[in-house]
Amino acid sequence: MFETRKDAIAAVAARPALKSGDAIPFDLETYASDVFGIDCMRERLPKGVFQKLYKTITEKSPLDPTIADDVANAMKRWAIEKGATHFTHWFQPLTGSTAEKHDSFVEPDSDGKAITVFSGKNLIVSEPDASSFPSGGLRATFEARGYTAWDPTSPAFIKHHPNGATLCIPTAFCSYTGEALDRKTPLLKSINVIKKSVSRLMRCFGEDGNAIVTVTLGAEQEYFLIDRQFYLARPDLVQAGRTLFGAAPPKHQQLDDHYFGTIQPRILSFMGDVEHALWRLGIPAKTRHNEAAPAQYELAPLFEDLNLACDHNMLVMDVLKQKAAEHGFVCLLHEKPFAGVNGSGKHVNWSVNYGDLNLLNPGSDPHQNAIFLTTLCAVIQAVDKHADLLRATTASAGNDHRLGAAEAPPAIISIFLGEQLTDVIEQIEKGNLKSSKHAGLMKIGVDTLPPLPRDATDRNRTSPFAFTGNKFEFRAPGASQACAGANVILNTIVAEAMDDISAQLEKAGRDNFNEKLQKVLQSVIKKHKRVIFNGDNYTEDWRKEAEKRGLPNLVSTPEALDAFLWEKNELLMEKYGVFTKQELRSRHDVFVEEYSRKIKIEGELSLNLARTLFLPAVSKQLGTLAESINHMKSVGLKSGLNTVISMAERIGKLADSIEACAVRLEKNLTSGKPDKILEEMHKMRVNVDALEKLVDDDLWPLPKYREMLFIL
């Protein structure tokens, strides 16, 4: 058997089985102990300083710069007690991961003795050279200056490594001229936008509009874990994060025996370590389970304030990778690491609150119900008007393999409401809201809606955007994507729809409010109900139906990203000050560029593997077969001869097809057209996967799916 593959299996087999033993108790005191949070601040900051900072954090009021030195000093002391020697401004450039450049606290004083230094200025702003981050033309490299600015609403935290620790300060990242170069800046802007719109809408309902508005996010994270030995023997995983070749094994997920199955001890021990690390970071990891595909798992935290939850999800991805390495695994966050089995998504659960009131909670009294239905209608209008933008936020080379692959929602964005809510919506449309399907009689008027049962919605796993009881769940984002992208758009488009509704309500005045509200909602539903779809999103019928309804179906990444350039979207983003036209364009360019670079890397890798691994394996195999054929002929052995000849022929033909693909792929790589590269890669893969099923198992150079997905 091929050396590395044999060695990989042997190494995994040699791992001693884990015995269940005494649990390591989790000390509740250590929850959030790696975070410079509110408690820590209260304890360590002068009272006046704490009060000012607390106001900034809870009310998101502007930061008073005069307190920076005091905060920095307290933070430094705390971090040093935790073993930190360095600090970093931690930010989210447009690369898909986080960035950090460390500076030590340690400096010599004038006598050459070491002291520790960390000033208010160090805390508030930094100027990393940062010229190599994607900016989509917003900065030329010679004017490299980029600035990171402290975001006090997301607490600083400690990252541990084997012999030390680093203080990480969440920051926003922008250019010298103030353009956003990251994911956090537009997110914070969009949160401010929706806050204003919610306050305005609530004033229409007779509220004072002064309660604190929060957007909440619960990000479910799917991932694969495979043994590191297999990973190291798969150059495609190492370089592209996904397998570019690999025949489906006879058994994969057909029996549904992995989903929610008993979690293996080795996996559980990994999960336990992940959770302990997350809890120390104050990240409320809550749910863990096996997912549908073999070797696939999910982690879901409790929902939190959106900005914090976005930062936390970036950390979740980091911790998953780090702990996987400690346990001899590799965590794959690619959207489709293995063809033929489910890919990994990130379900973005989103809601918005006014004070304690979740606006997406069907309430127990008529007033709350009216607010709920209005918010619901605002979301319907928003998603229908800007489905293209939402789709664009999920576009990536990896997610293209997942969306619409009969396991994940298609690229057509529609809303699932469930039977009962759809019924209510239909009745508002008709203007005679009388009864709810399951909840008995209702009198006319939104103010007489009966309590809607909280969990009246059924589940529809095929829908990209589903109402799930007290929140919407956007299921199209990919496992590796930052949450911020989708949420920036969601906040802004819902804000716009709310403003639209508010404007009509303000004009109508307070007399006969409920009747007028009904009329407004009725017209929203009439205009936008085409986006509601409760059926099976995987079917061809839905694709046709959606086309009839005029819903966009932007299948590939380049098509989907075009939405960033459309005038309607530029106008929207400029109106709300979330993105300038230039920023939108720059994002478009960054993502398109990233897409074509990734495809090119995959293309080159495919070519390389074909010529240096698969074709040489074929040549060895054909050599052996030819020898056998000669031998059989020389001794006059007739039976079996034709079988061996036809084996050689089948393998030889596939080899010829692979080489033909390689020649075309090579050409396409020079022209650089992603769709052409993908097409040839796909053809090549079909041939290689067929070959895998014919070539002597001992000669096959790469770990097979049945090994990577099942041996641990």
For residue 47, which amino acid is it? K
- 347 three-class SS: strand
Residue 441: beta bridge partners?
435
Closest CB to ligand ADP among residues 491, 557: 491
* Token pair of 109 as six digits: 């004083």
| List 31, 259, 303, 566, residue binding ligand ADP (CB under 6 A) | 303
CA distances (Å), 355 to each of 58, 352, 451, in order?
12, 10, 21
Q: Which distant-in-sequence residues (6+ apart) come within 8 Å of 419 by Cβ?
A: 437, 458, 534
Answer yes or no whether residue 218 interacts with ligand ADP by CB under 6 A.
yes
Rounded least distance, CB 617 to Mg ion, Å: 42
What gap in Å lies between CA 605 and CA 297, rounded to an integer?
28
The DSSP line for 200-224 is HHHHHTT--S-SPEEEEEEEEEEEE
Query: Within 10 A of 675 (CB to CB), how many other CB atoms are there?
Result: 10
| List 347, 385, 587, 704, residue binding Mg ion (CB under 5 A) | 347
- 480 three-class SS: coil
Rounded least distance, CB 351 to ligand ADP, Å: 3
Query: Within 10 A of 448 (CB to CB), how many other CB atoms are there?
Result: 15
| List 175, 216, 296, 492, residue binding ligand ADP (CB under 6 A) | 216
Letters for 471-490 (x = contact with ligand ADP by CB under 6 A, - = none) are x-x-----------------
Rounded least distance, CB 358 to ligand ADP, Å: 5
| Binding region for ligand ADP (CB under 6 A) out of 156-164, 246-254, 346-354, 501-509 | 346-354
Closest CB to Mg ion among residues 223, 245: 223
User: Which partner, ligand ADP, Mg ion, none, binds residue 487 by CB below 5 to 8 Å per kind?
Assistant: none
Q: Where are the beta strands (DSSP E) in 425-486?
A: 465-467, 472-474
Answer yes or no whether residue 220 interacts with ligand ADP by CB under 6 A.
yes
Residue least distant from Mg ion (Cβ): 347
User: Which partner, ligand ADP, Mg ion, none, binds residue 287 by CB below 5 to 8 Å per kind?
Assistant: ligand ADP
Phi-psi region of 132 (alpha: psi -120 to 50; beta: other; left: phi over 0): alpha
| Binding region for ligand ADP (CB under 6 A) out of 153-161, 261-269, 347-355, 488-496 | 347-355
Answer yes or no whether residue 471 interacts with Mg ion by CB under 5 A.
no
Answer yes or no whether residue 587 interacts with Mg ion by CB under 5 A.
no
Rounded least distance, CB 461 to ligand ADP, Å: 9
Closest CB to Mg ion among residues 203, 289: 289
What gap in Å lies between CA 394 and CA 596, rounded to an integer?
16
Rounded least distance, CB 473 to Mg ion, Å: 5
Phi and psi torsions of 672, nearest 5°: 75, 15
Instruction: Decide: 485 and 469 in contact? Cβ < 8 Å.
Output: no
Answer yes or no whether residue 171 interacts with ligand ADP by CB under 6 A.
no
Answer yes or no whether residue 275 interacts with ligand ADP by CB under 6 A.
no
| List 98, 349, 375, 457, residue binding ligand ADP (CB under 6 A) | 349
Answer yes or no whether residue 358 interacts with ligand ADP by CB under 6 A.
yes
Answer yes or no whether residue 189 interacts with Mg ion by CB under 5 A.
no
Residue least distant from ligand ADP (Cβ): 218
Which residues in 201-230 contact Mg ion (CB under 5 A)?
A: 220
Answer yes or no whether residue 301 interacts with ligand ADP by CB under 6 A.
yes
Rounded least distance, CB 432 to ligand ADP, Å: 31
What gap in Å lies between CA 372 and CA 201, rounded to an integer?
12
Closest CB to ligand ADP among residues 455, 627: 455
Closest CA to 556 of 435, 400, 425: 400
The DSSP line for 621-685 is HHHHHHHHHHHHHHTT--TTHHHHHHHHHHHHHHHHHHHHHHHHHHHHHHHT-HHHHHHHHHHHH
Rounded least distance, CB 499 to ligand ADP, Å: 22
Helix (H) or strand (E) holding 276: helix 265-280
Answer yes or no whether residue 234 interacts with ligand ADP by CB under 6 A.
no
Per CB under 6 A, residues contacting ligand ADP are: 216-218, 220, 287, 300-303, 347, 349-351, 358, 470-471, 473
Residues that bind Mg ion (CB under 5 A): 220, 347
